[in-house]
Amino acid sequence: MAGGAKEKNVSIDICAGDSCKEHKSKKLRMRLEALVEEWGLTEEVMIAKCGCLGRCKQGIAAELRPGNKILKELKPKHAERLLEQVITLLKGRSRH
Ligand code: FES
């Protein structure tokens, strides 16, 4: 691995729209960012924010890329479970 500005394998885009903000989307994003650091996933997983995903009023919405899978009804307490799912996805893709 050369390091540097390598493209991440997975991106979790957390909605930062008004409705999701009310459901503490920033808290979820910050928790995910902390876990990515803690679990040593900074090379593979990017946490970002995005605009409204059209899934308002159902908790927090997020988009998982690649695949453009929309996740909804998330809460900050779901951060660990969400990241575990992403790790499973990564493992499935990069079998050695
Ligand atoms: S505000 Fe988050 S899905 Fe609309």
**pLDDT tens, position by position, 8-19:** 789 999 999 999
DSSP state of 55: -
pLDDT score for 76: 97
Q: 41 phi and psi, to 5 degrees?
A: -110, 15
Q: Is the CB of 49 under 6 A from ligand 1?
A: no
Q: What is the mean pLDDT of residues 21-37?
A: 98
CB 83 within 8 A of CB 39: yes
pTM: 0.87
Higher pLDDT, 82 or 91: 82
Q: Is the CB of 74 under 6 A from ligand 1?
A: no
Compute how many other C-beta atoms are within 10 angstroms of the C-beta atom of residue 46: 17
Domains (range + CATH), the chain = 10-91 (3.40.30.10)
pLDDT score for 96: 52
β-bridge mates for residue 71, sequence order: 62
Token pair recorded at residue 35: 């876990």
Q: Is the CB of 51 under 6 A from ligand 1?
A: no
Q: What is the mean pLDDT of residues 26-45?
A: 96
pLDDT score for 3: 45
